[in-house]
Chains A and B, each alone.
Chain A
Amino acid sequence: METLKNLSRRNFIKLSGLTGTALTLGFGLPAFGKETEILKVEVAESLGIELNAWIHIDTAGKVTITNHRSEMGQGSFQSVPQMIAEELEVSLDKINIIFAPGNGRKYGSQVTGGSSTVRGSYQKLLKLGASAREMLIEAAAKKWSVSKAECYAENATVIHKPSGKKLGYGELVEEAAKLEPPKVVVLKDKKDYKVIRKPLPRQDTPSKVNGKAIFGLDFKLPGMLYAVVERSPRFQGKVVKFDDTETRKVPGVKHVLKVNRDEFGNMREGVAVVADNTWSAIQGRKVLVVEWDDSAFSHDSSDQLYSKMRELVKGDMISYKTQGNTTQTFAKAEKKIEATYETPYESHSCMEPLNCVANVTDDQCEIWGPIQGPDWIQGNIAGHLKMASEKVSVNMTFLGGGFGRKAFTDYPYEAVMISKEIKAPVQVVWTREDDMTIGPFRPGMVYQCKGTVTDSGRIGSYETKISGQNMDMQNPGADKTAYNGSDTEGFLEGYFNSIPHYSFGDAPLDSPVPVMWWRSVYSSTNAFAFESFLDEMALKADKDPLDFRRQHLSERYQLLINKLEEVSGWKARSKNQGFGVAITECFSSIVGEVVKVSKKPDGKVKIDKVWAVMDCGWYVNPDIIKAQVEGSIIMALGAATKHETTFKDGKAVERNFDTYKMSRINEIPEIEVHVMDNDEKAGGVGEPGLPPFTPALTNAIFDLTGKRIRKLPFSLEEVI
């Protein structure tokens, strides 16, 4: 039970325009730890009548549904309400949707990552919607003095079947709020869904075509100042001294101060220039002189990083998973191959650069921003400020992209520390150059693969050593000798039961370059290595690439392969076309993609079409799934063929979109997406479409040209 009395809640309510007195239900604590009962929770604030933490109904019948996750394009703003609306029996276009503030005790984890919003909470959100509906029906039955069994709910109204009497939810909510939540609720069968599984238009679209959607960078407070920060161009530099004489002469500049940034528990240093508008702060920073001490760490260049990784994959590894004896099998085998694959470092480069607003007073801290983990930031900041967590409120705006980068706590920390120091509300703005050069980055990786095929054309053994920076080894005190379950993610998923000998693991690289999750995380690079190598093995086995995969995979995969084969016309492909396939599992969803390439009159390769089949089990909105797969493919295309972050003398080289070249509208192939229909549990949607694209593309290029691409990125212009 909890009482919500903090400033954040009040402001949040003010912003969302809700009024009235309240009563709320929530999950038993720990919120998402187990299948607990729904509890009644008293709330001291005015926010309409809250039937539970996600649902508010006012006496006029206005239904407001809370989205507890961040919206960065992936569609939680639609999928969370769409699930609740189904069981609550309300129409999606009649409801108001608001963001929850950071409050892990109330909402469970709010960290929006791992494509987890639907798959992590759907059973509970459906149950919440159904509980509220049952309470409203019970309230009506009591009012009419009839049996609850004679009543049902439809379109925000309770109806008494025998008499045809009706009462709207607004007329029932006060009574309903006094009732105990039901102990057991029956959820609908999917054949009866009216809202879920329908391609309903997103509720955030209208505000995203007229400039009204408020992203972090758009959020303003009265008297707010703007800060930009000069951070060490090498990743761990310390400020020796700075000269702000010229900076302070720039009109509009108000403060210049040292500020730290919490990067995985390590403090990184910078100097903030604070002004009354963004441009003045940027101008002031241009004439700021900072002397850095870079002596305590190595100044790596890309060549050195990759040389080290190529050495590391030849040495010992921290083993993740082994079965049988790959060394012996490889030594004895007749049909065997070896290959090394390399993938680049990448910047997240969300279109909205990092930014955050903070207002710190003596006993309160309030944050607004494009944030992927509001509850996480609340805990982190409360710890640093030594404040009780309810004194720290974290409010989510829309996110102009996230891709993993905005789950990180460093940029809210900067805003908080500057606001605390200058005693005023402040917005920290990262310029595009900051966003692209400071990191953290997707780690670059090197994979060494060894495999054998049997006489019957199956995989005999499969061995891979992975080298790259392990994200979980950056925290102070992290164990760098033990396997930590991260960087083999998605590798060979689906094949473990059908390969007699396998062995793979990790030979981690140590470097000052900070690294972080990037859409689909390690799967975004692992898939390139293992799906390319599967293709090379299929060739060695003299098998059709699709059939070669098919013979090793389970029934769920078989159905997806059949669908992929059918929609892509795989069997009917002709000689002057290159077809490539890849099938990967990521965040509990399986995605198969086929890429078709051909030669242009000038002999260069062009991508004609991509077919994707997504099996994410139980799903909410097929149109959002299609949009996410389209977007994932296009993001993968950029990382495969257009851009990479390189390093020279310890600094990131690519600073803006003139050198970090993104895919453009004229470079995008036709994409056709299909969604499997089955009774599997819900899987992720925002990320799993990304991993298979690149290997499907390079496999297609091999099919057309005989040229095997083992290092990314490559230029389509240079493939002949």
Chain B
Amino acid sequence: MATLTLKLNNKNHTIEVDPKMPLLWAIRDIVGLTGTKYGCGIAQCGACTVHLEGTPIRSCSVPVSVAANKNITTIEGLSTDNSHPIQLAWIQEQVPQCGYCQSGQIMAATALLKKNPSPTDKDIDTAMQGHICRCGTYPRIRKAIKTASQLMSQKSSIK
């Protein structure tokens, strides 16, 4: 057991935990933020995706000790009021069905748009194909990423 500090969504959490515990379970069971989901445990489905220092990672396959003292952003940290362009686009295009995989999809899409504000279909395929949606919301995910891209460019042109 070890005492670690998790910097989750700009808030520090001091936790007593097995340092080998995957970050996913530390976030869900120890800190109690449940927006990040367990899907496969072997980095195949993407449901557990969070940002570690701005880069999307599979929290099911990263020991909590690796993430200690680093900036972690989860779905709860995107905005306080659903105002992030990705969230607005996801609502506009009515993407979620069951919704379970969407936290991971959204975190991956956010990272994509940060790096590449106007992704092509091929860019979207590359960035998003590690994420499984059993409900089959893929066509709407693609559409929503393009919508979010437009929303972001409108926002930046206003600035």
Residue of B nearest to A629 (CB): B136
How far apart are B37's CB and chain A's nearest CB, in angstroms?
7
The answer to whether B97 and A211 touch across the interface, beta carbons within 8 angstroms, is no
Residues of A within 8 A of B32 (CB): 220
Once A352-B37, A627-B137 are accepted as A-B contacts, the answer to whether A278 and B25 lie under 8 Å apart by CB is yes
Indicate with 1 or 0, residue by residue over A106-131, a CB within 8 angstroms of chain B CB atoms.
Answer: 00000000000000000000000000
Does B3 sit at the interface, judged by CB under 8 A? no
User: In the complex, are the beta carbons of A210 and B91 less than 8 A apart?
Assistant: no
Chain B proximity mask over A607-645: 1 for CB below 8 Å, otherwise 0: 000000000000000010001101111110000000000
| Residues A351 and B75 in contact, CB atoms below 8 Å apart | no
In angstroms, Cα B123 to Cα A369, docked, is 37
- Given the contacts A72-B98, A206-B91, A279-B22, A635 and B37 also touching, CB distance less than 8 Å: no
Nearest to B39 among chain A residues (CB) is A351
Q: Which residues of A contact B79 (CB under 8 A)?
A: 210
**In the bound complex, do residue B136 and residue A656 qualify as a contact, i.e. CB atoms below 8 Å apart?**
no
CB atoms of A210 and B98 under 8 A apart? no
Q: Judge whether A217 and B34 touch: CB under 8 Å.
A: yes
Which residues of chain A from 513 to 528 have any CB-CB distance to chain B below 8 Å in the complex?
none
A280 to B75, CA, bound (A): 25
B-chain residues with CB within 8 Å of residue A663 when the two chains form the complex: 136, 138
Among B25, B40, B78, B82, contact of A656 (Cβ-Cβ < 8 Å): B40
B29 to chain A: closest residue by CB: A277
Give every chain B residue within 8 A of A72 (Cβ-Cβ).
98
- State whether B18 touches A630 (Cβ < 8 A): no
Q: How many Å from the CB of B41 to the closest CB on chain A?
A: 6
Q: Which residues in A have their C-beta under 8 angstroms from that of B39?
A: 351-353, 432
CB within 8 A of B100: which of A226, A252, A401? A401
- Please state if B25 and A634 are interface contacts (CB–CB under 8 Å): no
Contacting residue for A201 out of B22, B91, B137, CB 8 A:
B91
Contact present for A210 and B99 (CB under 8 Å): no
Asked whether any CB of chain B lies closer than 8 Å to the CB of A665, the reply is yes
Smallest beta-carbon distance B91→chain A, Å? 5
- A3 interfacial contact with B, CB 8 Å: no
Q: Are A226 and B29 in contact (CB under 8 A)?
A: yes
- Residues of B with C-beta under 8 A to A207: 99
Question: Does B1 count as interface, using CB distance less than 8 angstroms?
Answer: yes
Chain A, range 649-680, C-beta contacts under 8 Å to B: 656-658, 662-666, 668, 670-671
Query: Quick one: which of B29, B97, B103 contacts A279, CB cutoff 8 A?
Result: B29
Task: Give the distance in Å from the alpha carbon of A279 to the alpha carbon of B139 in the complex.
Answer: 34
Q: Measured between alpha carbons, how far is A18 from B98 in the docked complex, in Å? A: 26
Instruction: From the candidates A214, A352, A632, name the one contacting B98 in the complex (CB within 8 A).
Output: A352
- Once A351-B39, A665-B125 are accepted as A-B contacts, the answer to whether A210 and B136 lie under 8 Å apart by CB is no
Closest residue of B by beta carbon distance from A348:
B134
Chain A: how many interface residues by the 8 Å CB criterion?
64
Given the complex of chains A and B, what is the CA–CA distance between A670 and B75 in angstroms? Answer: 29
Asked whether, in the complex, the Cβ of B37 is within 8 Å of the Cβ of A351, the reply is yes
B98–A209 touching, CB < 8 Å: no
Contact A217/B37 with A210-B75, A278-B25 known, Cβ cut-off 8 Å:
yes
When the two chains form their complex, are residues B98 and A205 in contact, meaning their CB atoms are under 8 A apart? no
A202 at the interface (CB under 8 A from B): yes
Q: Which A45-88 residues have C-beta < 8 A from chain B?
A: 71-75
B58 within 8 A of A: no
Closest-CB distance, B68 to chain A (whole angstroms): 16
Q: Are A217 and B38 in contact (CB under 8 A)?
A: yes
- A218 to B47 Cα, complex, angstroms: 14
Q: How many residues of B contact A (CB 8 A)?
A: 61
Whether the pair B134, A431 counts as a contact (CB closer than 8 A) is no
With A211-B75, A350-B134, A401-B134 already in contact, the answer to whether A668 and B139 are too (CB < 8 A) is yes
Q: At the interface, yes or no: A42 with Cβ under 8 Å from chain B? A: no
A211 touches B74 (CB 8 A): yes
A251 interface hit (Cβ, 8 Å): yes
Interface check A204, CB cutoff 8 A = yes
Complex interface residues of chain B between 108 and 159 (CB less than 8 A to chain A): 124-126, 128-142
Contact with B along A181-218 (1 / 0, CB 8 A): 00000000000000000000110111111111111011
CB-nearest residue of chain A to B86: A209
B105's closest neighbor in chain A, by CB? Answer: A665
Known A-B contacts A209-B106, A211-B74, A627-B94; A432 and B138 likewise in contact (beta carbons under 8 Å)? no
Residue B67 is within 8 A (CB to CB) of chain A in the complex: no
Which among B21, B38, B82, B135 has the highest number of chain A CB atoms within 10 Å? B135
Q: Closest chain A residue to B75 by CB distance?
A: A211
Does B44 contact A208, Cβ atoms closer than 8 Å? no
Determine whether the beta carbon of A630 is less than 8 Å from that of B35.
Answer: no
Closest A residue, CB atoms, query B102:
A208
Interface flags for A224-260 (1: CB within 8 Å of B; 0: not) read 0010000000000000000000000001100000000
A residues 316-346 in Cβ contact with B at 8 Å: none
**Selected contact of B35 from candidates A74, A212, A279, CB within 8 Å:** A212
Q: Is the CB of A349 within 8 A of B134?
A: yes
Select from chain A the residue with minimum beta-carbon distance to B99: A208
Name, among B37, B97, B102, B141, the residue most crowded by chain A CB atoms within 10 Å (CB to CB): B97
Contact of A278 among B29, B47, B94, B125 (CB under 8 A): B29
**Which single member of A202, A278, A283 contacts B28 (CB below 8 Å)?**
A278
Bound CA span A212–B87, Å: 13
Q: Is A400 an interface residue (CB 8 A)?
A: yes
Contact with B along A584-595 (1 / 0, CB 8 A): 000000000000
Interface flag for A274 (CB, 8 Å): no
Chain A residues lying within 8 Å of B78, measured Cβ to Cβ, are 210
A623 to chain B: which residues have CB within 8 Å?
Answer: 94
Does residue A398 face the partner (Cβ distance < 8 Å to B)? Answer: yes
Chain A: minimal CB distance from B143 (Å):
11
Smallest Cβ distance from A434 to chain B, in angstroms?
11
| B33 contacts chain A at the CB level, 8 A cutoff | yes
Give the distance in Å from the alpha carbon of A575 to the alpha carbon of B97 in the complex: 38
Bound complex: CA A627 to CA B135 (Å): 9
- Interface check B36, CB cutoff 8 A: yes
- Of A351, A402, A432, A671, the residue contacting B101 (CB under 8 A) is A351
* Chain B, residue nearest A664 (CB): B129
Are B22 and A635 interface neighbours, CB within 8 A? no
Give A349 to B44 CA distance when docked, in angstroms: 13
Across the interface, do A277 and B25 meet the contact criterion of CB distance under 8 Å? yes
Interface residues of A in 122-146 (CB under 8 A from B): none
Q: A211's contact among B44, B103, B140, B142, by CB below 8 Å, is which?
A: B103
Residues A205 and B90 in contact in the complex (CB < 8 Å), given A74-B97, A351-B100, A634-B136: yes
* A403: chain B residues within 8 A (beta carbon): 134
A-contact 0/1 string along B57-84, CB 8 Å cutoff? 0000000000000000011101100100
Measured CB to CB, the nearest residue on chain A to B22 is A279
| Chain B minimum-CB-distance residue to A72 | B98
Counting CB contacts under 8 A, is A449 at the interface? no
Q: Which chain B residue lies CB-closest to A75?
A: B97
Contact of B90 among A209, A401, A633, A666 (CB under 8 A): A209
- Tell me which residues across on chain B come within 8 A of A350, comparing CB atoms: 98, 100, 134
List A residues 458-503 near B (Cβ within 8 Å): none
Are B82's CB and A210's CB within 8 A? yes
Instruction: Rank and list the top 4 A-B pairs by shortest CB-CB distance, nearest first.
Output: A211-B35, A400-B100, A634-B136, A208-B99
Sample (20) of A-B pairs whose CB atoms are under 8 Å apart: A73-B97, A204-B99, A210-B78, A211-B103, A218-B28, A226-B29, A279-B18, A279-B22, A350-B98, A351-B39, A351-B100, A352-B100, A429-B38, A432-B39, A432-B42, A627-B94, A630-B136, A634-B138, A657-B132, A662-B134
Instruction: Write the residues of chain B forming the contact surface with A, with a CB cutoff of 8 angstroms.
Output: 1, 18, 21-22, 25, 28-30, 32-42, 44-45, 47, 74-76, 78-79, 82, 86-87, 90-91, 94-103, 106, 124-126, 128-142
